[in-house]
Chain A
């Protein structure tokens, strides 16, 4: 009896505290948070990225890409004399944290627009919040279907896998001429399942037969049973949709079983970690990417050099895409009145056409998703090279 009472008191204290905290959060300013920025000072852009926990690699690259872009824009005189400043929040890869960060940026920091969050799942949670408040939110790393479709204020400049995989399949087939493919994917990861479907459609369109489909789960380490089935079906190439860790183990075990076939990968293959774990077994793997650091283009060379000087590493696709994202926003800010008004900024951004960034020529489609080309890369000599 007394225990029950104590639990009750404890719960009621917790509840009242929780109420106090939420009330405290929402009271200072209503939704929308009034006008952004001060009229003349810096133009504040909010950033939500996964800077700690799983996926911190992605967030750190994004932050570096954005800071490089900010310094470049400000160094060249800013936007009509006004400098851009970044307000950076860590979402820890968590949907709720992403929502909190977006609310803080809108209501407390009163940013003009937001870049991020990192994962598609976070964007599906936080995008509607910004959209409802009438603040532009732009993903630089979300590759799932339906991001731009969340609302008129939601944009992204990262190319979805729906666009990249068909290009990967077409180019790989041109180069290697296979007709029988085995498909392997992680069946408990929404993103991997969706890109496996895209692989299936793209292969069918190219007239390639899928002779075997095998699945596994994120976290699995033993792929021998699946690979034995695959080998028995005698394919001429493999298509794999998985995160880099599972993909790397799968490649190693395939080689151990004597399966020496060309492998096409989804976006999980687009990570130098894959080469680090799989080593020799990763050689020859093909993957589509919006970014290629070795591209013969002065803008790309300048960016790679600048980035290397700052962080002593070659920028990856996340750094490149976020570098371009701030560049695209800066372009839109040059429009009359866009720097002081969130709605005008949104219209200016949506009107961006043929922006030339380091990831290529860029436009938004009517939903705020990117229209751009991907390159196909092949792993050779422990690094990615463009397939011509």
Chain B
């Protein structure tokens, strides 16, 4: 049963990692915390839901549609709430507040359109099970969720390491002024970072919707807080840290429920996170010193 619980924890953790990767990408490149990320995640879940129930679409198309929709939303967010502030050279707190504003707006909008009730995904993946090593039953749904999340994070990692855009992103993350002087279009690179982060969030929304069948306008809040905790523990700006932190938090939560009791879930999970920070204050994959603006 222990390994069964580990599998449960890792599937939950994989979606946390996906949410956290979005936070970490925006933080790494723009050096701001995007408080609207959790609500973009929620809107992504609703877009996926509409695609699956409304028309045709299989799971992969719902994920792709949610990524496109959430990506567009991320682009709008960058153009309307982040770029104007950046131009005026205001403090780092201003975009924090403006993204909080966007997050409240998106949540109210979703309440208005979809109502406050949770809605469920139709059973789009059959409940089929695979037996591993005789003791662990992993469901097809769990495999789909683990597979899609890890594939997306891996794709992000490759994009950052191998492509021109990735190089530009890393250059802007290192030093935007210098990157600009070298001919990198800093504004578009920052927009690209927010769009990619939002697309990851949208995909995570669909996967969480599939996994727990609860899509509601307030679903982002808990995931947003977890995502923030994960990037701090994983190391701000590190994609590998987001994955490690996400899986750690997911496993810690599930094992706490299984072996200690559900009321201690958050307490145990966060004690572990604090312990990690005490040992390594910059986070698992964090560098000791961040970039100095």
**Footprint of B on A, CB under 8 Å?**
54, 187-188, 214-217, 219-222, 224-226, 228-229, 232, 245, 248-249, 252-253, 255-258, 273, 277-280
Contact = CB atoms under 8 A, between A and B. Distances in A.
Contact of A280 (B5, B123, B137, B254): B123
B120 A252 contact: yes
B212 A221 contact: yes
Given A232-B1, A273-B117, A224 B12 contact: yes
B127 A225 contact: no
Contact of B5 (A221, A228, A257): A228
B159 interface: no
A226 B129 contact: no
Interface of B: 1, 4-5, 8-9, 11-12, 116-120, 122-123, 127, 129, 137, 139, 141, 208, 211-214, 219, 222, 253-255, 257-258, 261-263
Contacts of B4: 228
A306 B141 CA distance: 46
A258 B137 contact: yes
A257 B222 CA distance: 24
B59 to A, nearest CB: 14
A54 B111 CA distance: 13
Q: Is the interface of A mostly helix, strand, loop or mixed?
A: helix
Contacts of A279: 120, 122-123
Nearest to B211: A222
Contacts of B253: 222, 225
Contacts of B263: 187-188, 215, 217
A214 B263 CA distance: 10
Given A252-B213, A277-B118, A280-B123, A228 B129 contact: no
Contacts of B116: 54
B182 to A, nearest CB: 46
Contacts of B219: 221
A256 B213 CA distance: 11
A222 B212 contact: yes
A328 B219 CA distance: 43
Given A232-B1, A249-B214, A258-B137, A226 B120 contact: no
B236 to A, nearest CB: 26
B212 A253 contact: yes
A252 to B, nearest CB: 5
B127 A215 contact: no
Contacts of A249: 118, 212-214
Given A256-B141, A257-B139, 12 more contacts: A187-B263, A217-B262, A220-B262, A221-B208, A222-B211, A225-B253, A229-B258, A249-B118, A252-B213, A255-B127, A258-B127, A278-B120
